[in-house]
């Protein structure tokens, strides 16, 4: 595989990307991921990631590239490490005392785990949307304006108004919220709150948006709106989404990564993963068989 990304090139030799014969694959001796975890021109590259919670290893040597303007979904059974892996991509695990991370995540040529990395700045570049909508107990306007304000992205009120409107429009919430911008965000419905959280994330113009089960607390209509929004946002942003709904993964993403017991088992085009996956564990999971 040709890697044009400078850093990926240097690191390629430390990463195994050769395909494994699925039949010979044993989870106990796991060393390799089936499929192509590396891309030619990635937006974000995770290399040899290990994550430990105290003595317990939650992620085992995961290397994965996330492409530009790509939606990648991460699926796997509960406790497989998909959310943990997602959280390593903007250092959300830093807030957990017992959590230790090794390996590298490269964004714009820099390792986000290097000492010089400003975590606040990082999280503006790599935004996150959580399982349950978590608006601040402020007005709708202030929720969206919060990021641009603390990052000092705007100097004048009119400029801020513009940023808020653009973010709400992109999140598909403007028409519903424009007449009540000064009302508390908590008065919105669950689906609207989640779209507000997405608006809040994109207000700081991130490069990558991480979504951790963004629709699990929403009804089917609100879910469909978020999925529609993900498709729309992927024109401008790179999105990594963790989901328990395989239909959702199949609908919204171009690539799918399957995790099992902290290992990245298989990565591939979503179409391929859902019609003819190569690895037996992937097949068993997405078809609802015993592990």
Site of interaction with other proteins (CB under 8 A) = 21-22, 246-247, 250, 273-277, 282-284, 286-290
Distance CA 64, CA 204 (A): 25
The distance of closest approach from Cβ of residue 241 to other proteins in the complex, given in angstroms and rounded to an integer, is 18
Q: Which residues on adjacent β-strands are paired with residue 57? A: 52
The distance of closest approach from Cβ of residue 286 to other proteins in the complex, given in angstroms and rounded to an integer, is 4
Nearer to other proteins, 42 or 76 (CB): 76
Nearer to other proteins, 22 or 190 (CB): 22
The distance of closest approach from Cβ of residue 214 to other proteins in the complex, given in angstroms and rounded to an integer, is 20
Nearer to other proteins, 31 or 247 (CB): 247
The distance of closest approach from Cβ of residue 82 to other proteins in the complex, given in angstroms and rounded to an integer, is 17
Nearer to other proteins, 176 or 283 (CB): 283
232: tokens are 């729309």
Nearer to other proteins, 178 or 289 (CB): 289
Distance CA 285, CA 291 (A): 7
The distance of closest approach from Cβ of residue 36 to other proteins in the complex, given in angstroms and rounded to an integer, is 16
Nearer to other proteins, 189 or 247 (CB): 247
Contact 17, 37 (CB under 8 A): yes
The distance of closest approach from Cβ of residue 245 to other proteins in the complex, given in angstroms and rounded to an integer, is 10
Distance CA 102, CA 59 (A): 10
| Residue whose C-alpha is closest to residue 65's, from 103, 102, 101, 106 | 106
| Residue whose C-alpha is closest to residue 200's, from 147, 253, 246 | 147
| Residue whose C-alpha is closest to residue 131's, from 218, 61, 203, 58 | 218
Distance CA 197, CA 17 (A): 36
């Amino acid at each position: 595989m040709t890697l044009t990304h400078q850093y990926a090139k240097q690191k390629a030799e430390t990463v195994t990307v050769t395909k494994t014969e699925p039949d010979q694959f044993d989870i106990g001796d796991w060393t390799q991921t089936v499929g192509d975890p590396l891309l030619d021109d990635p937006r974000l590259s995770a290399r040899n990631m290990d994550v430990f919670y105290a003595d317990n290893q939650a992620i085992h040597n995961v290397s994965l590239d996330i492409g530009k303007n790509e939606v990648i979904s991460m699926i796997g059974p509960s406790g497989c490490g998909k959310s943990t892996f997602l959280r390593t991509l903007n250092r959300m695990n830093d807030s957990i005392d017992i959590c230790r991370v090794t390996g590298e995540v490269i964004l714009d040529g820099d390792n986000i785990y290097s000492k010089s990395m400003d975590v606040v700045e990082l999280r503006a570049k790599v935004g996150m949307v959580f399982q349950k909508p978590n608006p601040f107990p402020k007005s709708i306007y202030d929720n969206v304006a919060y990021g641009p304000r603390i990052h000092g992205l705007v100097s004048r009120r009119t400029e801020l108004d513009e940023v808020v409107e653009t973010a709400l429009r992109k999140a598909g919430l403007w028409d519903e919220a424009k007449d009540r911008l000064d009302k508390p965000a908590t008065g919105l419905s669950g689906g609207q709150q989640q779209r507000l959280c997405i608006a809040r994330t994109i207000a700081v113009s991130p490069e990558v948006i991480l979504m951790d089960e963004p629709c699990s607390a929403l009804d089917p209509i609100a879910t469909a709106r978020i999925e529609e929004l993900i498709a729309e946002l992927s024109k401008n942003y790179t999105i990594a989404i963790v989901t328990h709904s395989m239909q959702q993964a199949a609908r919204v993403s171009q690539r799918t990564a399957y995790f099992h017991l902290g290992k990245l088992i298989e990565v591939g085009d979503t179409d391929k993963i859902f019609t003819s996956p190569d690895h037996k564990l992937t097949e068993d999971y997405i078809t609802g068989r015993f592990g």
